[in-house]
Amino acid sequence: MAVEEVRLNVNELQPGMFVCRLEGRSWDTTAFPLQGVMVRTVDDIIAVRQHADYVFIDRIRSVDGTPEAVLMSLDVGGGGSGLRHVGAPTQYRISASLEEELPRIKFAANEAQKLSRRLTADLREGRKLSIEEISTAVEPVVASVIRNPDAYFWLASLKERDPYAYSHAVNCAALMSAFGRQLGFPGSVLVELASSGMLMDLGLASLPEGTVNHAAPLSDVQRETMKRHVEASLAQLDSTPGTTPLIRSAVAHHHERHDGSGYPAGRRGFEIPLEARMLGIVDSFDAMSSARVYQPASARHHVLQALYRERDRLFQAELIEQFSQSIGVYPTGSLVELSSGEVAVVTAQNSARRLLPKVTVLTRPDKTINPAFRQVDLWQQPEADGPRLTIHRALQPGAYGLDLAEFFL
CB neighbours of 260 closer than 8 A, spacing ≥ 6?
266, 267, 268
Longest CA span, the chain: 69
Closest CA to 85 of 100, 67, 112: 67
**Three-class SS of residue 59?**
coil
pLDDT tens, the chain, 409 aa long: 566 788 999 888 877 788 999 999 988 888 888 778 888 766 778 889 999 999 998 877 776 566 776 776 787 878 888 887 667 789 999 999 999 999 999 999 999 999 998 888 888 888 888 999 999 999 999 999 999 999 999 999 887 666 666 689 999 999 999 999 999 999 999 999 999 999 999 888 887 766 666 666 677 887 888 889 999 999 999 999 999 999 999 999 999 999 999 999 999 999 999 999 999 999 999 999 988 777 788 999 999 999 999 988 999 988 998 999 999 999 999 999 999 999 999 999 997 788 899 999 999 999 999 999 999 999 988 876 678 899 999 999 999 999 998 888 7
Q: How far apart are CA 352 and CA 12, in angstroms?
A: 8
230, 252 contact by CB (below 8 A): yes
The residues, ordered by sequence, that sit 6+ positions from 122 with a Cβ below 8 Å of its Cβ are 128, 129
Domain 71-327 of CATH type 1.10.3210.10: yes
| Separation between Cα atoms, residue 109 and residue 171, nearest integer Å | 9
Cα–Cα distance, 6 to 327 (Å, whole number): 28
Evaluate the omega torsion of the peptide bond into residue 264 and state whether it is cis, within 30 degrees of 0.
yes
Q: Are 23 and 52 in contact (CB under 8 A)?
A: yes
- Rg, Å, the chain Cα set: 22
Name residue 224's amino acid: E
Spatial separation of the C-alpha atoms in residues 190 and 275, rounded to whole Å: 11
The pLDDT assigned to 160 comes to 65
CB atoms within 10 A of CB 213: 12
d(CA 1, CA 22): 19
Q: Give the integer Cα–Cα distance in Å for 253 and 256.
A: 5
Cβ-Cβ contacts under 8 Å for 320 (sequence gap 6 or more): 41, 281, 307, 308, 310, 311
Q: What is the pLDDT of residue 211?
A: 63
Comparing CA positions, the residue from 24, 23, 20 lying closest to residue 4 is 20
Q: In this predicted structure, what is the pLDDT of residue 333?
A: 95
d(CA 256, CA 214): 22
Q: Where are the domains of the chain?
A: 5-63, 71-327, 335-408
Residues 315 and 289: beta-carbon distance below 8 Å: no
- Regarding beta strands 375-377 and 54-58, do their DSSP bridges make them parallel or antiparallel, or are they unpaired? unpaired
Alpha-carbon distances, residue 401 vs 57, 211, 395, 398 (angstroms): 43, 32, 11, 5
From 292, 326, 371, 99, select the one nearest 193 (Cα to Cα): 326
Lateral strand order in the sheet of 37-38: 5-9, 54-58, 18-22, 37-38
CB atoms within 10 A of CB 52: 17
Of 8, 131, 102, the closest CA to residue 332 belongs to 102
**What is the distance between the alpha carbons of residues 128 and 118, in angstroms, rounded to a whole number?**
12
